Chain A
Amino acid sequence: MVRGAPILKRVGSLPDWALLLFAGLVYLFLYAPIFVLMFFSFNSARSTQVWEGFSLRWYAELFRDQSVLDAFYTSMVVGVTATAISTVIGTLAALALARHSFRGKTLADSTIYAATVMPEIVVGVSLLAFFVAVQFQLGITTIIIAHVAFCISFVTIVVRARLSGMDRSLEEAAMDLGADPPTTFMKITLPLILPGVMAGALLAFTLSFDDFVITFFVAGAGASTLPLKIYSMIKFGVSPVINALSTVLLVATLVCILGGSRFFSRKEE
């Protein structure tokens, strides 16, 4: 199969048509539920099933709901704080792992990978047990601590990938020309790995903002993030307000993905 061939070029025999049809159905399966969800957020009736007419009343209700706004605020505070801390810590760890070999490196590597694949519920209950054991009051602080813990590994992996593709001779040149290590880092290394650091930060923020399971266990009664709020709304009952909130989140995610991919594809050039 020639790369870059037009999509329909080889579609002629039965298996190809079947494949195209099948792929179409899978995309329908992936997107139909989301579109149905968004569609009914504009329904004028209380139903999420029967269309009565167009209205924005559920959006008005959503933006009047103080508890939703509070949860959004909490999620932003948690997301920004956890991203900032985990990006710094994760980048430092990536520099150590990409540049040095040392005793215990296998343990460090394994811990970082284990943290990315450990089932969330295990991380959630173990942190809950830990915070209770050391008598740490559950709340926004414990949420941030937990989020940093699971974001560090992702940042490290992303930044490390960037570092391994980097030409070290530029840094050596800077050092030869008399730059001290901090200057070399700020002027040469950091600008070169910045796309990786940004990608890591973006990933960390998304993971933090979306996390439900771990947050569910470490939030306690005091703090509620947006996913926790959505969960309790769904538990309380289906309502077009949830559809409206979901739509806002979906559109925001889409804008971030498109913006992000634009940013990164331009950086690559």
Chain B
Amino acid sequence: MAAQKGVDKGRGWSLGLAGLLAPAAFWLGVFFLVPLLLILAYSFGTSGVYGGITLGFNPENYLKVFDPLYLQIIVRSTVIALLNTLICLAIGYPLAYFIAFRGGSWKTALILLVMIPFWTSLLVRAYAWVVILGGNGLANRTLQFLGITDGPITLIFTPQAVMMGLVYSYLPFMVLPLYASLEKFDARLKEAAQDLGASRWQTFWRVTFPLSLPGVIAGSILVFIPSAGEFVIPDLLGGSQTVMTGNLIQQQFLNARDWAFGSALAVMLAVLMLGAILIYVRRIGTDRLEGV
């Protein structure tokens, strides 16, 4: 059927087009979409005592989220991910602003310097903080040297340690889109605002910042989504004290063997992600098309 339309290159289906798309469609279909549908089905199933799953329509796994034990973990994860987003924005915005407007001929080098840690292994970055925050590590000795503390205090395996690791790991995700949107900024707009009598502060809040909003939102999504599902950093820096949703999912799949509940959590995380992306596309995607 597809082969019949073979002549019409560029629009509609053809044999050649099917050949180009088939491998990707197969791989992503079988090894990405089908597994997602599988956990969607599992999330409405019932976990057996020995780890098996009986399929059905059981909303219990989703209701289990409201169990105070789990709700506490989910709320904490969301708060930590939100805080991480805000801190990355507070640190990343001035940095991106500095690189875009004061970087001069150093721009490329400065942005490359932000990207290098982003290209290095996540585990190596987390390990650096395990060492610094651990035992009588560099952080503790600095605190003692400055006279803030008298002896070593517990820094690792705290929510603060997780925050530190998250900000450290996700900062580049915030800086890159911010830089991309500030870099395109037409400096004449700023001059115009100032010529019309706006102070530097007013110029920033009424001209520069609103125009960089696509970058702010893109960066916030890029930081919030993965940090809400983060599992390595709380695992290495939070220990059993600061469990996040990602750790909870991992426990359900590997230790508790309650795959139905684990699937429900994973589905919720995926839906959260899709929701955020949709909001982004609706609110910013179209604005951007209208030309900046």
What are the residues of chain B within 8 A of A115 when measuring CB–CB? 28, 32
A190 within 8 Å of B (CB atoms): no
Instruction: Tell which of A130, A152, A243, A250 touches B120, judged by Cβ atoms closer than 8 Å.
Output: A250
B283 within 8 Å of A (CB atoms): no
The distance in angstroms between the C-alpha atoms of A26 and B179, with both chains bound, is 15
B21–A108 CB distance below 8 A: yes
Q: Given the known inter-chain contacts A114-B274, A120-B226, A210-B122, please indicate yes or no for A89 contacting B94, CB distance below 8 A.
A: no
B98–A253 CB distance below 8 A: no
Q: Given the known inter-chain contacts A1-B101, A49-B136, A257-B119, please indicate yes or no for A121 contacting B27, CB distance below 8 A.
A: no
A129–B102 CB distance below 8 A: no
For chain A residues 102-155, which have a beta carbon within 8 Å of chain B?
Answer: 102-103, 108, 111-115, 117-123, 125-130, 133, 145-146, 148-150, 152-153
What are the residues of chain B within 8 A of A148 when measuring CB–CB? 27, 31
A6 within 8 Å of B (CB atoms): yes
A58 within 8 Å of B (CB atoms): no
What are the residues of chain B within 8 A of A56 when measuring CB–CB? none
A122–B269 CB distance below 8 A: yes
A170 within 8 Å of B (CB atoms): no
B263–A125 CB distance below 8 A: yes
Say how far A48's CB is from chain B's closest CB, in angstroms.
Answer: 5
Q: How many residues of A contact B (CB 8 A)?
A: 88
The distance in angstroms between the C-alpha atoms of A37 and B127, with both chains bound, is 9
- Segment at the B interface, from A11-19, A59-67, A191-199: A11-19
Q: Whose C-beta in chain A lies nearest to the C-beta of B36? A: A126
Instruction: Tell which of B23, B114, B116, B131 touches A89, judged by Cβ atoms closer than 8 Å.
Output: B23
A-facing mask of B248-259, CB < 8 A → 1, else 0? 011001100001
What are the residues of chain B within 8 A of A90 when measuring CB–CB? 24
Main secondary structure of the interface of A (DSSP, over half): helix
Instruction: Tell which of A117, A118, A125, A146 touches B31, judged by Cβ atoms closer than 8 Å.
Output: A146
Q: Whose C-beta in chain A lies nearest to the C-beta of B16? A: A181
Q: Given the known inter-chain contacts A49-B137, A210-B121, please indicate yes or no for A19 contacting B25, CB distance below 8 A.
A: no
B273 within 8 Å of A (CB atoms): yes
Say how far B228's CB is from chain A's closest CB, in angstroms.
Answer: 7
The distance in angstroms between the C-alpha atoms of A52 and B10, with both chains bound, is 68
What are the residues of chain B within 8 A of A89 when measuring CB–CB? 23-24, 27
A30–B113 CB distance below 8 A: yes
Say how far A156's CB is from chain B's closest CB, in angstroms.
Answer: 7
Q: Whose C-beta in chain A lies nearest to the C-beta of B221? A: A117
A42 within 8 Å of B (CB atoms): no
- Segment at the A interface, from B59-67, B143-151, B209-217, B229-237: B229-237
What are the residues of chain A within 8 A of B231 when measuring CB–CB? 120-121, 213
B116–A121 CB distance below 8 A: no
What are the residues of chain B within 8 A of A238 when measuring CB–CB? 130-131, 134
A96 within 8 Å of B (CB atoms): yes
For chain B residues 131-181, which have a beta carbon within 8 Å of chain A?
Answer: 131-132, 134-138, 141, 168, 171
What are the residues of chain A within 8 A of B129 when measuring CB–CB? 33
The distance in angstroms between the C-alpha atoms of A37 and B130, with both chains bound, is 10
What are the residues of chain B within 8 A of A16 when measuring CB–CB? 102
Q: Whose C-beta in chain B lies nearest to the C-beta of A148? A: B27
B197 within 8 Å of A (CB atoms): no
A152–B28 CB distance below 8 A: yes
B80 within 8 Å of A (CB atoms): no
The distance in angstroms between the C-alpha atoms of A37 and B40, with both chains bound, is 42
Known: A7-B105, A234-B126, A253-B121. 13 other contacts (CB 8 A): A22-B95, A33-B132, A37-B127, A49-B137, A88-B23, A102-B11, A111-B33, A121-B229, A129-B253, A130-B35, A149-B32, A217-B254, A238-B131
A residues at B contact (CB < 8 Å): 1-2, 4-7, 9-11, 15-16, 19-20, 22-23, 26-27, 29-31, 33-34, 36-37, 40, 48-49, 88-90, 92-93, 95-96, 99-103, 108, 111-115, 117-123, 125-130, 133, 145-146, 148-150, 152-153, 156, 181, 206, 210, 212-213, 217, 227, 230-231, 234-235, 238, 242-243, 246, 249-250, 253-254, 257, 261
Instruction: Offer 9 A-B interface pairs, CB within 8 angstroms, sorted by A.
Output: A4-B104, A100-B14, A117-B225, A121-B250, A126-B36, A152-B27, A230-B124, A234-B236, A235-B236
Across the A-B interface, the 9 shortest Cβ-Cβ residue pairs: A119-B229, A126-B35, A93-B24, A96-B20, A33-B128, A130-B35, A149-B31, A23-B98, A246-B124
